[in-house]
Amino acid sequence: MSDSTNTDKKSSTNDVRPVEGSPLYWQSLEELKGWSPSQEEYLAPFDAEKGGVLRRDFLKLMGASLALAGSACVRRPVQKIVPYIKRPEEVIPGVANYYASTWVDGGEGFGLVVKTYSGRPVKLEGNELHPVNQGKLSARAHGHILNLYDPDRIQGPKKVAASSAADIGWDELDGMVSAQLSKGKVAILSSSLASPTTYSLIEKFLDQFQGELFLWDVLGADDIIEGQKASYGQALLPQFRFDRAQLVVSIDTDFLGTVISPVEFSRQFASTRSPGKEFSKLVAFESNLSLTGANADQRFRIRPSDQVLVVMGLLYEIIVKGKNSRFVGDSRITSLLEGYKGVAGKLGIKEEEFSELANSLWEHRGRSLIASGGLSTRSGNLSLQVATNFLNSVLENEGVTVDTRNSIESYQGSYKHISNLIQKMKSGQISTLIIHNCNPIYALATDSGFVEALKNVKLVVFTGDRVDETGQVAHLVAPDHHPMENWGDAELRRGVFSIQQPTIRPLYKTRAFQDSLMVWAKGSGKALSREENWHDYLKSYWKERIYAKYGGEGLGAGSFETFWNSVLQKGVYDVSLRESHGQSGQVRSFNTNSLSLIEKSKSVNGYELVLYSKMGVGDGKLANVSWLQELPDPITKIVWDNYVNISPKSARKEGLSEGDLVQLKSGSQSVELPVHIQPGLHDEVLAVAIGYGRTGAGQIGNNIGKNAFLLSRFQGGSPQFSGLEAQISKTGKTHKLVNTQGHHRMEGRAIVVEATNAQYQEKPDAGIHHHKIFSIWPGHKYPGHKWAMAIDMTKCTGCSACVVACQSENNIQIVGKDRIANGREMQWMKIDRYYKGDEENPTSVFQPMLCQHCDHAPCEAVCPVVATSHSNEGLNEMTYNRCVGTRYCANNCPYKARRFNWFEYSNINYPLTMALNPAVTTRSRGVMEKCTFCVQRIKEGKNAARDKDAPLNDGDIVTACQQTCPAEAIVFGDVNDPKSRISQLYKDSRSYKVLDEFNAEPAIRYLTKIRNVDHIQGDANEEGHA
């Protein structure tokens, strides 16, 4: 381990800042009083030309040198390092500074804490004070750090002609844009603008040029918003309160994985998953097997075209058959619902199961939630949304689990907007188009006509960070800063304002989009504001619009400067509880006229195609982030590809086997994709992930998989991604699909122990086989701390955020598809996914698997050179520079938690080296590595406690995986502390050790998976004990 965290902090403690290097507190930039000019220059991130370059470079060099100095096992790192002559006050080499910021990605957004070393962000962590994510992050959010250091980012403005980009100066570009702008007919196309300040700036800009703003998100929620408008007259995206729901029915909606705000939803959902009387139930009706379906207690397979049927069928059962709800007397409704009699039969679901669900829903009225939304439900009309709203209203969920208070503000984009834009471009009404933060050329289906319409636009300015698909058809690329280099803000929920601080000086000659707007307006002789730059504009917007309105209550109401510093420090200003932001419990009345919008879904010949997005690559924007490409899909465990999911039965019928290339045809479009045989998929459904097949992403993301957007239908603003008619034909070729887990059954071994909620209530340790283990050795003594972990499998959803968090924290290198094919994945943490039951509709269980830090560690005994040893705090430590690489330890590990550096993986180039965490050694080739329980964090926590001369408290040390887990399924701590959470969980009757009988005495306890079902499918405990 690097000892860099050992820097004596006492000598440098500054009175201004209470605690340094603690993730709970971080410094704002201006918090420092009396800073020297050199610091100001360091902190003013916007002026690339103005001096200070040397010092900045020096800081970078310093960071890189630190990383090298820390990595003793990299052989011969002969690099001279120079100490600071005059150290900037806030920078202590080897001690991280934390800055609050915000991350927004196409509607989804979080509060961040950016961990920086010597002015260099290395890791993103969730902001615990932020009400949306409460300290948690998604896998994609972690990947954002690599996006900052993406080597394929362009380093300055470009002029594009015939798809080739040439360097151009900002002055020249500004001149060209300003000249065109003054001719009018301006439009801006952007993804959702969560930032109210940017929104206001754009409005001012467009006012000046009589332009128009078009907002569009690939994975938007415009269907839900339109549905809300039709049903309740309010165009908003309500808060779905999964934490208040005892019974959730998901209609093809992967709310735990990819829809709207999965991190928040996962946290809320997990909070209802404490076994016992108040244990919630999740029922999923699904076409594709999604993360949500995999976590469901009860899962039904449906076709996408059945989605509306399910909801209407439930309504029929409740209103007509059950004669429940206030709509019983409404003959218009009952006659409409008569048409949905016997839906269960049509769906191939048992009649009694369906009515039981309907009854249960009615019993849980006001405490249930019907969730629908996301790509897989977008069939081109509002039927599903209206039906869902009606069912939620019938079930009296309005105002409880569907809460309009603090509605979600970050989803503003709409396909209607882009459809309008295309119309306007076609008719020549637009001559300047500024495309910001979106990639329409890639993501719009070919029948949208966007490309053709764009030809009528005289000047297309693209603000992206690379010459991607859209950049290639633009005329000018005016690269925006990376969000981590730029100021900004966001209103993610009504009344929840978060701030985005730059945490690094821009790496390249990029310019904030907002600054560009100001410069261009100025160039055409129009001033947008009295402020000279975006930072000042932002600050005065906050002063005039936010501080003035809300008075800064709760955040140092003294003066604006105190307020502002406080906001920067905390990262969020939450006034959501003010009455002006809606009232809780507000019940909107459902407009029954909207029921006429419900169309009977057309059945389709052949297969129904459903498109979905993945946890990692998502809409494809971050396709060049290798962590996300290499993140195993939580369900299929496949990496670096997209594919056609087909059910085992249909695969047999078509004579297909895994990896066969098929021609997938939908309408006039066809795509050649490999086949993946997916249990749990409906037999008449094919599912393909979007986000792949990029051609302008960069060297990592290009030509990985195929672009499934081609198969969608644009349909003038009501796009169809689901229920598309599709045919497949064998091509006779094959394509290698690579996964990190090739075996999916538990083989009757008691690895994941499951029990029903009833069994649990009867016998809390239900399902656990307690082995009688006898040892003549008393074991190690742990006089001080004894670190341990507990993982609750009832809460774990398998979302894999921990996998990427660990990768980011511990400098785990990616290895690529071919090496994973050879079984050389490097992730220290993996999520094991087992299927149980039949292949038609299996249940799934997730089990995070990592080094178990065994007390009787089998690896320690067999290493001939003592490179892996036991610490007196129970850690199984790996001494990289002592490791010779016999791999005996890995062979002897029953959990196979060790990873070997088969090649020199850590040999990466600038700027990717910037993302390395200097507190963690990079490993050279030939060296074994594995989870360390984040030993660097343990050391940091202990050092901080020692400096404060205070005992280490439970929760002072959190591992990277625990920190990010949205479900809070992971608990880490000192089991020798009787009051710690971990020592409580050790005693929990649900806790057990995996492979207990092997007697490795692992330090990780798993808590049994409790399901809200009557019977556990294919119960491992019955099949035979292990």
User: In the complex, which residues of this chain contact other proteins (CB under 8 A)?
Assistant: 741-749, 751, 819, 821-825, 830, 832-834, 847, 849, 858, 861-866, 882-888, 890-892, 894-896, 898-904, 924-928, 994-995, 998, 1000, 1024, 1026
Half-sphere exposure of 188 (CA within 13 A, CB side): 27
Token output for 890: 């890995």
What's the closest the beta carbon of residue 561 comes to other proteins, in angstroms? Answer: 55
What's the closest the beta carbon of residue 821 comes to other proteins, in angstroms? Answer: 8
What's the closest the beta carbon of residue 898 comes to other proteins, in angstroms? Answer: 8
Bridge partners (DSSP) listed for residue 900:
928
Give the DSSP letter of residue 316: I
Bridge partners (DSSP) listed for residue 435:
189, 462
What's the closest the beta carbon of residue 923 comes to other proteins, in angstroms? Answer: 10
What's the closest the beta carbon of residue 791 comes to other proteins, in angstroms? Answer: 14
Q: Which helix (H) or strand (E) holds 521?
A: helix 513-523
- Could you give the strand order of the β-sheet that contains 496-500, starting from the edge strand earlier in sequence? 237-240, 402-408, 488-493, 496-500, 572-574
What's the closest the beta carbon of residue 537 comes to other proteins, in angstroms? Answer: 52
Burial of 234 (0-12, 13-18, 19+ CB in 10 A): middle
Q: Which is nearer to other proteins, 565 or 827 (CB)?
A: 827
For 633, the 3-state DSSP assignment is coil
Q: Which is nearer to other proteins, 627 or 834 (CB)?
A: 834
Phi-psi category of 691—alpha, beta or left, where left has phi over 0 and alpha has psi -120 to 50?
left
Q: Which is nearer to other proteins, 277 or 743 (CB)?
A: 743
Token output for 643: 């594919």
What's the closest the beta carbon of residue 648 comes to other proteins, in angstroms? Answer: 18
What's the closest the beta carbon of residue 143 comes to other proteins, in angstroms? Answer: 23
What's the closest the beta carbon of residue 871 comes to other proteins, in angstroms? Answer: 16
- Residue 173: count of CB within 10 angstroms of its CB: 23
DSSP sequence for 535-588:
HHHHHHHIIIIIIHHHTTTTS--S-HHHHHHHHHHHSEEE-TTSGGG--TTPPP
Q: Which is nearer to other proteins, 223 or 832 (CB)?
A: 832
- Residue 179: count of CB within 10 angstroms of its CB: 14
**Which runs of consecutive H residues, i.e. helices, occur in 865-988?**
888-892, 935-948, 960-964, 981-987
Phi-psi category of 1018—alpha, beta or left, where left has phi over 0 and alpha has psi -120 to 50?
left
Pairing of strands 638-639, 738-739: antiparallel
Bridge partners (DSSP) listed for residue 154:
none
For 230, the 3-state DSSP assignment is helix
DSSP sequence for 80-141:
-----SS--TT-BTTB-EEEEEEEEETTEEEEEEEEEETTEEEEEEE-TT-TTTTT---HHH
Angstrom distance (rounded) from CA 583 to CA 22: 37
Amino acid identity for residue 586 in this structure: Q
Q: Which is nearer to other proteins, 341 or 819 (CB)?
A: 819
Token output for 789: 């972990």
> What angle is formed at CA 505 by the lines to CA 499 and CA 510, rounded to 5 degrees?
95
Tokens 């040439």 correspond to what residue?
Answer: 166
Angstrom distance (rounded) from CA 166 to CA 156: 10
Token output for 105: 């990605």
**Which runs of consecutive H residues, i.e. helices, occur in 210-324?**
222-232, 262-271, 291-295, 307-315
Q: Which is nearer to other proteins, 685 or 961 (CB)?
A: 961
What's the closest the beta carbon of residue 740 comes to other proteins, in angstroms? Answer: 9
Q: Which is nearer to other proteins, 191 or 626 (CB)?
A: 626
Q: Which is nearer to other proteins, 602 or 743 (CB)?
A: 743
What's the closest the beta carbon of residue 738 comes to other proteins, in angstroms? Answer: 11
Token output for 62: 């310093």
What end-to-end distance do the CA atoms of the chain give, in Å?
Answer: 37
Amino acid identity for residue 311 in this structure: V
Tokens 């976590």 correspond to what residue?
Answer: 295
Q: Of 106, 404, 108, 369, which is closest to residue 251 (Cα–Cα)? A: 369
Q: Which is nearer to other proteins, 604 or 751 (CB)?
A: 751
Q: Which is nearer to other proteins, 505 or 836 (CB)?
A: 836
What's the closest the beta carbon of residue 800 comes to other proteins, in angstroms? Answer: 14
For 626, the 3-state DSSP assignment is helix
Contact 669, 845 (CB under 8 A): no
Q: Which is nearer to other proteins, 472 or 881 (CB)?
A: 881
Q: Which is nearer to other proteins, 582 or 632 (CB)?
A: 632
Half-sphere exposure of 219 (CA within 13 A, CB side): 29
What's the closest the beta carbon of residue 656 comes to other proteins, in angstroms? Answer: 21
What's the closest the beta carbon of residue 836 comes to other proteins, in angstroms? Answer: 12
What's the closest the beta carbon of residue 924 comes to other proteins, in angstroms? Answer: 8
Q: Which is nearer to other proteins, 744 or 981 (CB)?
A: 744
For 205, the 3-state DSSP assignment is helix
Q: Which is nearer to other proteins, 533 or 871 (CB)?
A: 871
What's the closest the beta carbon of residue 932 comes to other proteins, in angstroms? Answer: 18
Q: Which is nearer to other proteins, 449 or 659 (CB)?
A: 659
What's the closest the beta carbon of residue 192 comes to other proteins, in angstroms? Answer: 38
Q: Which is nearer to other proteins, 612 or 834 (CB)?
A: 834
Q: Which is nearer to other proteins, 821 or 1013 (CB)?
A: 821
Q: Which is nearer to other proteins, 481 or 898 (CB)?
A: 898
Token output for 97: 């500074």
For 296, the 3-state DSSP assignment is coil
Angstrom distance (rounded) from CA 237 to CA 403: 9
Give the DSSP letter of residue 318: I
What's the closest the beta carbon of residue 5 comes to other proteins, in angstroms? Answer: 22
